[in-house]
Amino acid sequence: MSSDDLSASEIAQAVAGRKISALSATEAALARIARYNPVLNCFTDITAERARAKARAVDAAISAGQPVGPLAGVPFAVKNLFDVQGLATRAGSKINRDLKPSPRDATLIERMEAAGAVLVGALNMGEYAYDFTGENVHDGPSRNPHDLTRMTGGSSGGSGGAVGGGLVPIALGSDTNGSIRVPSSFCGIFGLKPTYGRLSRARSFPFVASFDHLGPFARNTSDLALAYDAMQGPDPDDAACATRPVEPVAPSLAQDIGDLRVAIAGGYFQQNVFPEAVEAVARIAKALGTTRIVEIPEAARARAAAYVISTTEGASLHLDRLRRRPDDFDPAVRDRLLAGAMVPAPLVDRAQKFRRWYRARVLELFKTVDVILAPATPCVAPKLGQVTFTLDGVELPVRANIGIHTQPISFIGLPVVAVPVPLEPMPIGVQIIAAPWREDIALRVAHALERMGVVSAPQPRGL
């Protein structure tokens, strides 16, 4: 049996059942990376010897009759803002390469490996996570596995490309304003941005501490749920991490969704979209039997407030680096951070007050609905180097507007599953948005859509 075409859950079952070894699954992943990474440019670091050692340990535990986790032998990789023991945490930057190697893994890596998964490397990303395109000026752009001339999206571009291209079945990324959902949409895969505070961010490089989320990418909902379950739980090393107990979602994934109240986000979320985004939402709404539309109040203002808070918090984090090494930044990132440093404090205060008001209004909606559908991106993946696109007759900068529909959601930390609709010639994603702490509902809806054949991760077309 070969692991090349197996999902994460299938690999784990085969390894636990001794049909394949964890080491053979690891070697197969390393071979795929060696073959395709020169084209996709997803990986910045490959931890081959570490991976082999972990895989041998999993095989030894099985041989000794010891219990192994639900991800036994499953290869995975992480965005390079996660601390990986022995590596400097790049966070997509040139400056961070001068840091000392990390003495310990990020909490989520520790939890994935405790479940039996095997870390095979770290992944390309936009500098300091301030990016929506996946075009890193230091490491080069990650390339879309369905069309090598197109973007993966960012800032978790390497994560999206690695999973979409079949190099690994699971990858971890971060999402501040859309950086899991955008690459999921462009690369045609599933991504989960959990509720703010649900998964630990300990020992990962921050961007905007009040918005930052970490979460998984996968090619199906079962794998997404397995990874999410493995990473749950309180963590005193992250002050924002909730003290809620582990609430597994994988066992209830196939539960009937017939009683769930589903609505479509109207107004703002039906504007500034290309026809493919409209078609994707319509397909999912039809499959779920809903025509109900709800208005998310003041979503445009929420996006503006998210920008204000993002750029000011980001600037504060990087002020010392901006003073010492301005020429070592991506100029576009540097200029946005410098602009953030000059935002008047009263404007930030207004944005934070609005955030509280907006959160209360959106939570009111979830008294009458369980799930809200919205586009993940306004378009399919743009071309690498593309600077502008035209939305509703207005020419706009690509980089600043890819996250037009994701920012109003992460602004208040709602859980979202991004699901891929396999349109031709390129896939595009839809957000399945749920109330705080109801990842189970969003994943159940995603799983039902997958069983219906409405959403799926297409095979990479560019390789």
Place of tokens 């301005």: 326
Report CA torsion sign: 46, 14, 219, 444.
negative
DSSP 8-state code for residue 267 = G
CA–CA distances in Å: residue 42 to residues 38, 218, 232: 8, 15, 26
Residues marked active site are found at: 79, 155, 179
Say how many CA atoms lie within 13 Å of 283 toward its Cβ: 24
- Asked if 186 and 462 count as a contact pair (C-beta separation under 8 A), the reply is no
Long-range contacts of 272-276 (CB under 8 A, 24+ apart): 272/378, 272/391, 272/392, 272/401, 272/404, 273/375, 273/378, 273/379, 273/391, 273/405, 274/378, 274/379, 274/380, 274/391, 276/379, 276/380, 276/423, 276/426, 276/428
CB atoms within 10 A of CB 459: 15
Residue 461 corresponds to which tokens in the numbers above? 């077309």
- Asked if 332 and 138 count as a contact pair (C-beta separation under 8 A), the reply is no
Strand ranges in 83-166 using DSSP code E only, listed in sequence order: 118-123, 135-136, 140-141, 143-144, 147-151
Our CA angle for 184, 110, 74, nearest 5°, is: 55
Helix (H, G, I), strand (E, B) or coil at 23: helix
